[in-house]
Chains A and B, each alone.
Chain A
Amino acid sequence: MKTKRGSGVSYAKYGYLFILPFFIVYTFFTLIPQLMTFYYSLFENYRDGLTQIGPNFVGLKNYVTLFSPDNTGSIGILKYFGNTLILWVMGAVPQVVIALLLAVFFTSYRMNLKGQQFFKTVIYMPNLIMAAAFAMLFSTLFSNVGPVKQVLLAHDLIDKSFDFLTMKVPVRVLIALMNFLMWFGNTTILLMAGIQGIDQNMFEAAEIDGANSLQVFFRVTLPLLAPILVYTVITAMIGGLQMFDVPQVLTNGKGTPNRASMTMVMYLNNFLTTSKNYGMAGAVSVVLFLVSTGLSLFVYNSLSSQYKDTAHKRDQI
């Protein structure tokens, strides 16, 4: 590795030169702001009407406020974390199950489905659509005067007072549905690649041994796909933690009804826009950071063993 690459020493400075722009920009626009966010979370810094309060150092006071009950008796951040989790689970469970099913269909040699390219193109499409526009579209289609309600009313399927956008369960279902539609195609394609990466002999051997398709799925496909499945689920979780555009636009930033669809990032956004409370925004960011770092560590643990093998083979890193 050291000598084979030729006169490596004299070229080393180019390595630094090539990676320099990345690190300068990252340090300036992400790393320092990141550290400043942690730092700001220890300050009282907000606007009260027209007067600017702070910044004054207050220690952990913002965190205490963050985790104390408000006047309705509920702890905001826990409620919004709970909302985010519920919305994520409602979308992600069908997302992974359906994606797994489709990935098996698409890769099944026996089934040999026709029109795969068409289906893949269609199911992946919502992933590229602007989330804000998608949510806006749903808010018009499902609004009180929108076409969906018109049709359901005409067939007497719902009551006149039923409103998709102001009732807890329908709002949550709509958000979950949108997230599902936006991500199941992507997950299908990732899992398909995972299944195609499995040694074909495994499937043949199982078939020769007389395993039926269910047995093949549970005894061969699923165990061998497990690492990629874990990776997919955790990255989806980190993505879910950032859920913002869809509920923000669908509920017009209010998390209707009664903040039942307010997510963590919407909460953060409220501190940044309406109340300009940068101290509290910093504290929320730190909580978000800790949760996503915890999740990422889990990914790296489950992946590092895998990556090491290939890295060894290629004599890389």
Chain B
Amino acid sequence: MKNKENNKGRIQLIIARTVAYIILIFLSFLCLFSFYMLIINSTRSNFQLQSGFTLLPKDHFFINLKNAWNDYSINIPRGMLNSFFIAACCSVLTTYFSALTAYGIHVYRFKLRRFAFYFIMAVMMIPPQVSAVGFIQLVYKLHLTNNYIPLIIPSIAAPVVFFYMKQYLESVLPMEMVEAARIDGSGEFYTFNHVVLPIMKPALAVQMIFSFVGSWNNYFIPALLLDKKELKTVPIMIAQLRSADYSKFDMGKVYMFILLAILPVMIVYIILSKAIIKGVTAGSVKG
């Protein structure tokens, strides 16, 4: 009797596992297929692309790369450099100042502490697009269009990253450590920079990656502020590609542009996927 029930349970388990694997493989296929097609198509010439669909790579990769890299109207190497510069600045500023703000609220007891905390929490969910009108007008008035300052400096105030850092500090920083540093004669800023920041390294790294990627992919605000050709970022160029009538284009080159736009993030992700996936949950709400 017991044996029979055991068998039934095992069969159920095997069925459940099989179903789970089929669903997982199907979803993985969905996620990977378009990128697989992108890579394949970037190795084919315009003529080969027009003549039909294939799952096997061809030999046109480096010719497409050369054509895309040297394209006159879409200066992709310049765009990548611009995007990289903005994203690198944003990721450093966001993580450093979010950690600084979180530390200030976590460690010091001052009158407006609760207010500051609840204020940041309250504005955390406001979509950035909602202040775009006033932001653009401000940038116009300061004559800062076609300038990276309005794309970089605002990243100092990032409520979501602040919240992540605050939670991280709560879980890793014992007050005794700060007090010990004080007894050793360390100044408050010195303590933060040389004692606390090293402890926060994992959190800083994860948030640096996320803010880098966020900035690299950012399209809405940069598209409103940058219209000089040599200052444009990658997403603006990609959207430009869409508005040009691309059926007249060399399609091999178009696929290469898209590949170049996502490649840096893909490479970073493949190397650091484990840490990144862990980082997704660490900042979210824990009961």
A residues touching B (Cβ–Cβ < 8 Å)? 1-2, 5-6, 8, 11-19, 21-23, 25-26, 29-30, 32-37, 39-41, 98, 101-102, 105, 110-111, 113, 117, 119-126, 128-141, 143-145, 147, 150-151, 154, 181, 184-186, 189-190, 192-194, 197, 213, 227-228, 231, 235, 238, 241-242, 244-245, 248-249, 252-253, 265, 268-269, 272-273, 278, 281-282, 285, 288-289, 292-293, 295-296, 299-300, 303, 306-307, 310, 314, 316-317
Residues of chain A within 8 A (CB-CB) of B30 are: 181
Contact with A along B145-184 (1 / 0, CB 8 A): 0000010011011000010000000100001000100100
**Given A130-B262, A265-B220 in contact, is the A242-B127 Cβ separation under 8 Å?**
yes
Determine the residue in chain A with the shortest Cβ distance to B20.
A105
Whole-angstrom distance between the alpha carbons of A310 and B171 in the complex? 12
**Given A5-B109, A40-B137, A252-B243 in contact, is the A310-B16 Cβ separation under 8 Å?**
no
Within 8 A of A (CB), among B87-116: 97-98, 100-101, 103-114, 116
Residues of chain A within 8 A (CB-CB) of B125 are: 235, 238, 292-293, 295-296, 299
Q: Are A278 and B242 in contact (CB under 8 A)?
A: no
Determine the residue in chain A with the shortest Cβ distance to B113.
A15
Residues of chain B within 8 A (CB-CB) of A131 are: 217, 219
- Which of A98, A129, A282, A295 interacts with B262 by CB under 8 Å? A129
Distance to closest chain B CB from A222 (angstroms): 15
Q: Are B154 and A132 in contact (CB under 8 A)?
A: no
Q: List 29 A-B contacts (CB under 8 A).
A: A14-B104, A15-B104, A15-B109, A16-B112, A18-B105, A18-B192, A19-B101, A25-B154, A30-B135, A33-B137, A39-B134, A110-B13, A119-B24, A119-B28, A122-B28, A130-B216, A130-B217, A130-B262, A131-B219, A132-B217, A140-B246, A228-B285, A238-B127, A248-B219, A268-B129, A272-B132, A285-B130, A293-B125, A296-B122
Q: Are A121 and B277 in contact (CB under 8 A)?
A: yes
Residues of chain B within 8 A (CB-CB) of A111 are: 13, 16-17, 20
Whole-angstrom distance between the alpha carbons of A180 and B113 in the complex? 39
Whole-angstrom distance between the alpha carbons of A248 and B132 in the complex? 17
Residues of chain A within 8 A (CB-CB) of B49 are: 147
Whole-angstrom distance between the alpha carbons of A295 and B127 in the complex? 12
Q: Are A11 and B108 in contact (CB under 8 A)?
A: yes
Q: Are A213 and B134 in contact (CB under 8 A)?
A: no
B226 at the interface (CB under 8 A from A): no
Contact with A along B218-261 (1 / 0, CB 8 A): 01100010000000001100110111001100010011001001
B3 at the interface (CB under 8 A from A): no
- Which of B153, B179, B284 interacts with A6 by CB under 8 Å? B179
Q: Are A228 and B287 in contact (CB under 8 A)?
A: yes
Whole-angstrom distance between the alpha carbons of A238 and B113 in the complex? 27
Please name 19 further chain A to chain B contacts, defined as beta carbons within 8 Å, in addition to the given A33-B132, A242-B127, sorted by A numbering. Answer: A15-B109, A15-B113, A19-B101, A22-B100, A29-B150, A105-B23, A105-B24, A132-B261, A133-B261, A140-B255, A141-B37, A189-B281, A242-B128, A265-B220, A273-B224, A285-B132, A293-B126, A314-B170, A316-B170
B38 at the interface (CB under 8 A from A): yes
Q: Are A37 and B242 in contact (CB under 8 A)?
A: no
Determine the residue in chain A with the shortest Cβ distance to B265.
A128
**Given A12-B109, A147-B53 in contact, is the A30-B131 Cβ separation under 8 Å?**
yes
